[in-house]
Structures are given as C-alpha cells and as structure tokens.
Structure 1
Amino acid sequence: MDANDATRIAELEADNLRLRRLLDARGAPEELRHRLRSTVGMLRAIIRRSAESRAGDIESYIAHIEDRMDAIARAQSQADSRGWIDLHDLIAEELFRYGAGEGERAVLDGPCVRLRPRAGQILALAFHELAVNAIEHGVLGHAEGRVRVDWSLQDGGQRLGLLWQEQGARVQAEPVRSGFGTEVLTRMLRYELKAETDLAFERDGLRCSITMPMSDAVGTVHVP
C-alpha cells in the first residue's frame, strides 16, 4: 500500500471518528444516538475488515466498502421512514441492484416480517454478500441463472428460517469469498442475531440456510 492509499484510508477513518464525536454531542435523542452509534460501529468494522481482505487493491477496496455501506444505508432508509424494515423489500432491493429483478431472475416467498433496525442492517449486509458472491462466483454471473429466497417461521413461530438457493446455471463450486463476506454470514450473524448458518455448494451454486430466534430484537410477523 503506497502513501496515497494510506492517506485515503486515514481520511475514511477520520470521517468516521468525527461522526462518532458528533453523535456524542448533547441534544440528540438518546434512542437516535444509540441507533446511529450502533450503525457507526458496524461501518467501522466494515472499513477495517474490508481493508484487511483487499490489502494492496485500493480501488477494489473503495468499491466494496461503498457497496456495503449502500446496503446498510438502504436498510436504514426503510427504518427511518417506517420505524422497521420489511424483509421482503430488503432482499428484493438488494437483488434488483445486481440485476435479479423479482419475477425475472429472483423468486421471493415468505410471510411479512418487520425487522428491527439493527437486525435489518445485519441481514442487509448478509444478503449483499450473497448477491455479490453470486455475481462473482455463482449463478448471477450467467444469463440463465436465478436465485430463490424463502423464509418461514419454525418451532411454532419461535424461530425464523431463511433459505438462499441459486438455480438454473451450472457453475464451478467456489466458496463465498474468504474474508469479510464469510465473517458476515457466519460470525456476525451468530454474534448479533444468535443465528446458525449452513453453506453448501451444489451443482447449481450456493445454498445458504440461516436460522435465528424470532426474538423482539429481531422483529415481528405482521398479519395483514
């Protein structure tokens, strides 16, 4: 990493530090300060882990970190306007961004789940990593490829199960990119949401199963 690269990374860290100081200023509602502080902490982790996984490739590093921040920002926008994040909309928006429109290259099916802001941000990041991996290594890198995402309540509504399945294209089975993407799908989901994740590489592509307690910290099911 040369001096210019180090300077750009230092500027990102400095911006993040200034935002943290702003959040600590008096006058902001405590709930808002808590939510924003939580988001800033997540962004800080993204900056550091992205830098570690993309060392020496500053342009790729900047592109990936911007995309990850955009995924969180889209989730936060829902939370700001509604007070909660719709799971269907979260997944649909992320897949649409990568050329997999619902009804065309994506099938989504599940009950109406309203996620808490923090849980929504974590899951937005997880589905972002799955979508990017499908572009780089999986079925979304092929014209005939598509993705199916199903979610349901399990154990009498005590747990939420999500299943990501890639279909329609023969791909070279490769793992989710080692580094931050793997960490999000395994360690971060487990730490933040007490989730269990299973990754399997089948003839069509990746199959990712995620299950977690349907607690108040995760969200609620809305019955129209």
Structure 2
Amino acid sequence: MYDEAKSPYERSLIAGDREFRELADFAPVMIWRSGTDQLCDWFNTPWLTYTGRAMVDEVGNGWAAGVHPDDVDRCLATYVGAFRAREPFSMEYRLRRHDGEYRWLLDNGKPFYRDNRFAGYWGSCIDVTAHREAARAQRILVNELSHRVKNTLAVVQAMATQTFVGDRPVADALTAFESRLQALAGAHDMLVNHAWEDVALRGVVEATVAPHDPGQSRIVIDGPPLMVASAPAVSVAMAVHELLTNATKYGALSTDTGRVDLGWRFDPASERLQMTWKESGGPPVATPTRRGFGVRFIERVLAGQAGGAATVAFEEDGVRCCFEAPARSWRHVTENFRTPVSIP
C-alpha cells in the first residue's frame, strides 16, 4: 500500500516497477494516478511532454493550474464527486499545452483496489480537439445545408404555385416550369463548382445569358468586378432568366433589331449592387393589366431571397428592371472604391 505520510512527489518516485513505467511511458495516451487522498502522485511521459511541465510541478493539485479557468471548477467538481462516491467518471475540459494553446481533453478516471482496499484512481486522457472541431463543422454544414434546401424549396414552390395558376394550357405551363427548373439547376451547378463560396457576378450573368445570345451581339453586359454570395447569385441568375424569357417572347429579343443593356453599379459604403436591365429596339411596350408570374417572382420571391429589392417597369421604349442585392468588390482593400458611387 501507499505510504500516505510521504508527499505526492515522493510517492511519484516509487510508483510501480520499472517495467510498468516503461509501458506507461510508451502508451499513446496521457496517464495519471492519484492516491487515497485525492492528490495526483504520478503522470506518464506523454502527459509531461504534452504540458511541458516537470513531475514535481504536476503532482498534488499542480496539474489543475493548466486547466482552462472556465473549466477548472467543473473539472474539480466532477473529479471530487466521483472520488467520494468511488465511481468512474468521464469528462472533457481544456488543458494548456506546452505551446500555450488550450486543447480539449477527454479524461476517463476509474477507482482501483489493492487487497480489496481502495487505493486511488487511474486515469487516461486523449486530445479530442480535432474531433470536437470536426463535429462542430459537421453541425454547421448540416444547418447550412438545411437552410439552403429550404430556400431552394421555397423558390421551387413559388415557381410551381405561380406557373400552374390560371387558364394557361398545361403543356405551356409544364414547358415554362421545366425551363425555370433548368435555370435554377444551372445556378446551383455553378455554386457547387465553387463549393458554395462567393462567385463572380459577371460569371453568373454570362452563364445565364449565353444560351439566349450565342453571338454576344444583342445583350451588352457591363459592370465592375463584384462577388456575390450563394443566395444573391441564385436570385440574380433566376431574375435574369425570367427577363430573358420575357424579352425573347414579347420584348426586345423577339425582333431582329432589339437589344438589352445589362449593367450594374456598386456602392462600397452600403456594400450593395444595383443591377439594371433595360430593353430597347423591340415592339412598343404597353403596361399589362395585371403583373405576370415573372414580374411577381422577381419582385417578391427573388428579391427577398437575395436580401435586396427589385422593381420592374414597363416603359414605352422597353422594359426596365432594377435589382438590388448585397455584394462586395473583389479588389484589394487598398484598390477598392473609396468614394461612394452615385447610383441613378
């Protein structure tokens, strides 16, 4: 049995035989031991290497000096409570590593007996920081995925609700709905290729416009280099798709002489872009008696999804749409716009 008259450090010097110490020191875990007085009297080499402290500094309650201040009370309460009840325990807490960084440890302790008499506790610890960070990243990923799926379903629901309302023939409605789904899928494909990070606004616009203007002669695109997040990117792509569809059927792109000017400006003070779609050279425009699905979809659904605003005006010489959304310049901060841009 242990001589309780000896100090924890003295007990540490005679803990176990040489073979045991060699085995414990080569173990891939951090091991500690305490006597019947609750004081730790031995730590293996991996523990001492991890903390960067000597045995004499760790024994007794010295090890607790390395526990994070926010965890020490809970850590000691768990240890003392289990010790008094002679029960095993498992807890996580942050311990200061030799380089000063606090890392999360999983500490498992269990009472041991000699000659049927309680002799103290053995414990082992492993660093679980990477596991905790991976679990946290997974939770964030699941939450983000859930959020994006809900947003996408909301867009699809709005498309379905509006597309199949009214007296439109079913075949026409199905064609329109399929076209909108393809546009939505195209926007999502672009975001997947960029790992759902910010994407270049020009890339979003050009990819959406390309099928409608193969020769790049009827739709003029102009604007500074900007980056947009996933939600605004999808909304911009869908809004441009709706405008292109309308222009091809009824507007500037339905004739050989029509054209579209699609440009945007950026206000660095508010970090928002204002995109303007303006048709010209097409058939005369008359204000419709009721706003169609495309207009309502842009103004109500897509603008809300993008966190901005949108308006569609049926001007005499061509449709005008103004779409506003958050964005950021991709220029270095020293090269960024320093004076707010005046947006007409």
* Offset, 1:188: 1.8
Out of 154, 159, 172, the residue aligned to residue 41 of structure 1 is 154
Report the counterpart of residue 338 of structure 2 in structure 1: none
* Offset, 1:155: 6.2
Report the counterpart of residue 189 of structure 2 in structure 1: 77
Report the counterpart of residue 148 of structure 1 in structure 2: 261
Report the counterpart of residue 134 of structure 1 in structure 2: 247
Matched, 1:221 2:335: no
CA contact (8 A) 1:137 1:174 kept: no
Out of 80, 91, 98, the residue aligned to residue 205 of structure 2 is 91
Matched, 1:191 2:304: yes
Q: Which structure's CA Rg is the greater one?
A: 2
Match of 1:68, as an amino acid? R
- RMSD over aligned CA atoms reads 2.6
After TM superposition, where is structure 1 displaced by more than 4 Å over at least 4 residues in a row?
none
C-alpha change, 1:193 and 1:36, in structure 2 (3 Å) is closer
Out of 61, 67, 72, the residue aligned to residue 173 of structure 2 is 61
Please report the TM-score for the alignment, with normalisation by the length of structure 2.
Answer: 0.50
**Deviation by residue 1:43-70 (Cα, 9 ceiling, x = unmatched):** 12211221114x4511111111111111
Which has more helix, going by share of residues? 1
Q: Distance in 1 between matches of 2:173 and 2:202?
A: 29
**Deviation by residue 1:7-30 (Cα, 9 ceiling, x = unmatched):** xxxxxxxxxxxxxxxxxxxx9940
CA contact (8 A) 1:75 1:117 kept: no
Match of 1:191, as an amino acid? G
**Deviation by residue 1:146-198 (Cα, 9 ceiling, x = unmatched):** 1111111126353211111112x241203478332111221124433343333
**Where does the alignment leave 5 or more consecutive residues of structure 1 unmatched?**
1-26
Q: Distance in 1 between matches of 2:250 and 2:227?
A: 31
Out of 108, 111, 115, the residue aligned to residue 228 of structure 2 is 115
How many positions carry a matched residue from both structures?
190
C-alpha change, 1:56 and 1:159, in structure 2 (3 Å) is closer
Please report the TM-score for the alignment, with normalisation by the length of structure 1.
Answer: 0.74
Bigger relative CO (Cα 8 Å, ≥ 6 apart): 1
Which has more strand, going by share of residues? 2
Report the counterpart of residue 9 of structure 1 in structure 2: none
State percent identity of aligned pairs: 25
Q: Distance in 1 between matches of 2:253 and 2:301?
A: 24
